[in-house]
Amino acid sequence: MTDAGLLEVGRRCSNLQALNLDCCSGVTDVVVFEVARGCPNVQSLNLRGHRLIIDASVTEVARRCSNLQSLKLELCYDITDVSLLELGRRCPNLQIIRCKDSKRITTTGVLELNVKLNTAFYYTYIYHHHMISNEHSQIYFLYRMNDRFVEMCL
């Protein structure tokens, strides 16, 4: 699907609840902005592998899609803690966030998201990555975290 087609989805599908852009090549921030603006009911959004996506578009999703429950950002290399903080502020129903190999997300961002969502997480070590979850949320931060973070979770 082209950017033009995806822009039309954003403009015409105001009741859209789930959008998987994993298989679409070259998705840009322009598309993500339009989806955020035109589809405020989105509950599940998969942006996996779109290396051109930056914090500005993810924060726009957080601002406009407050019912968001699942967001996949694996391999989105330019996403930072800024996105996590805005998601924590604006998306109280967020249950799943996957950000494996989103290398600019730090332990500080993870902890701040924890605070913003007012949840008590515990961790489990899986395949050299950490999974943080509680009974209501499964928030996956699939990258190595330092020992200080693990101590703070205990």
pLDDT-derived band at 118 (thresholds 50, 70, 90) equals: low
**Which residue range(s) make up the domain with 35?**
3-119
128 part of a folded domain? no
One DSSP character per residue, 26-71 reads T--HHHHHHHHHH-TT--EEE-TT-TT-BHHHHHHHHHH-TT--EE
CA distances from 146 to 4, 85, 95, 112 (A): 42, 20, 23, 16
Say if residue 139's pLDDT is above 60. Answer: no
Total domain count, the chain:
1
| Distance (Å, whole) CA 117 – CA 11 | 30
Q: CATH no. for residue 58?
A: 3.80.10.10
134 part of a folded domain? no
153 part of a folded domain? no
Considering the entire predicted model, what is its pTM?
0.78
Say if residue 150's pLDDT is above 70. Answer: no
144 part of a folded domain? no
